[in-house]
Amino acid sequence: MNQRPFRFGVNMLSPGSAAQWREKCRRAEALGYDVILVPDHLGMPAPFPSLVAAAEATERPRLGTFVLNAGLWNPALLAREAATADQLTGGRLELGLGAGYVKEEHDRAGLPFGSPRERVDHLEHTVRALEGFLGDPGHVPQPAQPPRPPLLLGGNGRRMLRLAAQHADIAAFSGATTGDDGVIRPVSLAVLEERVALYKAFAEEFAADRPGPAELNYLVQRVVVGDRRAAARELAAHAPDLSEDELLAHPVLLAGSVKDIADQLRAHRERFGFTYFTVLEPALEAFAPVIEELR
């Protein structure tokens, strides 16, 4: 079976002036990143204006939301925003959606947070509504990529994985859970393998209704070009249930020499099927030589 080629994205977290934003996006393009991404958190850049500005500053990279909190969006208004952004980015938009996990942001926005079931219900409603709006030839504006921009869905729960298997062009895994304290903690490799296997089982169920299998994305939390053991010890404080050896085998952490990290990514592709890796903005420069090594 032919493996997909690697793709690499960087999730931009910090706001700045227009000039600073353009320079960061141009730098990401020059370093070889395939996708420039923006999250959807209060206190971080607004997604769609940022992506339109990124399109003006660059030529090659795709541009994506990673990921929109569906609970903050009305589906009809989101369809308008997505179609407009797709047009203004020249058809380079990738639309990432999730159920949301930060209650404090909902409180600040004056919006209900809901139970996990209610949040996934709203996300499912949003996905189906977007497909209806954007797939309608009479919808104004029309997206540049008919019937809609590529859809990324991120999550770990059973319903989320089934929803991604049915609708997503890109299925995103974080390999972590977020506690009530808002702290992100990696799951074990066994749990990650089980989640990926469950997604793949759902994907088989819906294979006849899809044009092809989805791309599998993984969000890397930390990149350290340097001492592997030291990097694992540093991350261990946030992963008390995992040993140093388990962290070094986990895609949540990429550590070692540039060649070591390239080998880790090849191994993760072989083991899990991940071919699209997202790093966070602080790793923008450090990860770039790995992209060059793998190309």
Give pTM, 2 decimals: 0.96
Token output for 33: 């990143």
User: Taking Cα atoms as reference points, which of 190, 189, 176, 292 lies closest to residue 247?
Assistant: 189
**Angle made by CA atoms 67, 273, 70, in degrees to the nearest 5:** 15
Q: In whole angstroms, what is the distance from residue 277 CA to residue 281 CA?
A: 13
186 is written with which tokens? 């990696």
**pLDDT value of position 184:** 75
For residue 199, count other CB atoms closer than 10 A to its CB: 24
Share of the chain above pLDDT 90, in %: 87
Alpha-carbon gap, residue 295 to 272, rounded angstroms:
20
* Cβ atoms of residues 169 and 151 within 8 Å: yes
Sign of CA dihedral 294, 224, 236, 36: negative
Mean pLDDT of 203-229: 94
Mean pLDDT, residues 97-104? 93
256-295 per-position pLDDT tens digit: 999 999 999 999 999 999 999 999 999 999 999 999 999 9
Tens of pLDDT, residue by residue over 15-53, are: 899 999 999 999 999 999 999 999 999 999 999 999 999
Q: What is the pLDDT of residue 2?
A: 65
How far lies 163's CA from each of 206, 218, 266, in Å?
10, 17, 27
Structural domains in the chain plus CATH codes: 7-222+258-294 (3.20.20.30)
Cα gap 252→176, rounded to integer Å:
8
- pLDDT greater at residue 66 or residue 101: 66
CA dihedral 263, 222, 224, 230 (to 10 degrees): -110
| Peptide bond between residue 67 and the one before it cis (omega within 30 degrees of 0) | yes
The region of weakest confidence among 66-75, 78-87, 214-223, 230-239 is 230-239
The H or E element spanning position 190 is helix 189-206
Predicted local distance difference test score (pLDDT) of residue 181: 58
- Are 231 and 186 within 8 A, CB to CB? no
Residue 178 is predicted with a pLDDT of: 72
- For helices 116-134 and 158-167, the axis angle rounded to 10 degrees is 10
Whole-Å CA distances, 174 to 16, 88, 146, 250, 285:
27, 29, 28, 11, 21
Amino acid (1-letter code) at residue 183: V
Task: Determine contact, residues 74/32, Cβ cutoff 8 Å.
Answer: no
Measure the CA–CA gap between 243 and 249, rounded to whole angstroms: 10
Q: 166-209, pLDDT tens digit by residue? A: 999 999 999 888 765 566 789 999 999 999 999 999 999 999 98
